[in-house]
Amino acid sequence: MGGDRGEGGKFIMDSITEGFRRAFSLIFTLDIELLKIIFLSLKVSGTALLIATATGLSLGAFVGLKRFPLRGIIISLMNTFMGLPPVVVGLFLYLILSRSGPFGFMGLLYTPSAMVIAQSILAFPIVASLSHSAIVNVDPIIKQASMTLGATPFQVTLNIMREARYGIMSGIIAALGRVMAEVGAILIVGGNIAGYTRVMTTTIALETDKGNFELAIALGIILLLLSLTINMTLHLVQRRGMVKINI
């Protein structure tokens, strides 16, 4: 038994070592399939982030700057939806976009557009909630100071958002981190079709299932590097936002 387990462990280690060797080979030879997958991932996540930033930042700013009925409920919803389970988003989107669903006529299911919608839904509350927090934390004196200098309401809003810029950027970067690593929703609505809707995370899941570790490991390394880059950027943004006060 012990010997079997030892041999099994050795087999897995060999597979992983071989996987790493071939993964680096794929990366350094700029394998075309690998590049296509990376490009689609960046395209889907980038587009989703743009949509989520435009909508989420607008909502975050509106809720942060205006007082209106149901504002508290909207804030609670934004915070709750930050933790939306991706598979649940995928399931609901699948039901809406499937042939018998209300938007089935648009034929979006199993297309990159459906993946963009799914990732936008996941990123939107993160951008909205973190932008809202950043904006409400701006000292109220900034609004008054801008007004005393003759700023129009729109200029006052822009100035408050400029003061909240580091917090807003943190929210956008956090949302990017989430969508880049997401697999559940896009697997359901994208279908993981080779050369069409297959992205890094769904490829890793599929290739691991098939026991083809090299492509999975290559993509895993790239995903980790991207994640590291995103987090380092986030760290730098947050550090820039902290001004050393020497009064």
Partner 1 sequence: MSLRLTAINICKSYNGKPVLKDCSVSFDSAGIYILMGPNGSGKSTFLRICALLENPDEGKINYFSDIPIIPPLSRGELKRGVFSENNILKRDIELKRRITLLLPRVGVFNTTVFKNAAYGLKIRGMGHDEIEKKVNTVLEFVGLSHKKNHNALTLSSGETQRLGIARAMVIEPEALFLDEPTASVDQENTEIIENIILNMKGKNGSTVIIATHDISQAERLAGRVLIMQDGKIVETSF
Minimum distance between the CB of residue 128 and partner 1, rounded to whole angstroms?
22
- Shortest distance in whole angstroms from residue 240 CB to partner 1: 10
CB of 167 to partner 1, least distance (A): 11
From candidates 163, 182, 207, 214, binder to partner 1 by CB under 8 A: 163
Nearer to partner 1, 30 or 242 (CB): 242
Calculate ∠ Cα 170-92-117, nearest 5°.
Answer: 45
**76 part of the interface to partner 1, by CB under 8 A:** no
Shortest distance (Å) from residue 70 CB to partner 1: 21
Q: Is residue 247 close enough to count as binding partner 1 by CB under 8 A?
A: yes
Q: Which 122-151 residues touch partner 1, going by CB under 8 A?
A: 139, 141-142, 144-151
Tell me how far, at minimum, the Cβ of 86 lies from partner 1, in Å: 35
Q: CB-wise, 98 or 238, nearer to partner 1?
A: 238
- In the bound state with partner 1, the residue whose beta carbon lies nearer, of 164 and 189, is 164
**Six token digits for residue 119:** 């990732």
Contact with partner 1 (CB under 8 A) among 17, 80, 152, 231: 152
Distance in angstroms (rounded) separating the CA atoms of residues 52 and 26: 33
- Residue range at the interface with partner 1 (CB under 8 A); choices 49-57, 68-76, 216-224, 237-245: 237-245
Binding residues vs partner 1 (CB under 8 A): 139, 141-142, 144-153, 155-156, 159, 162-163, 241, 243-247
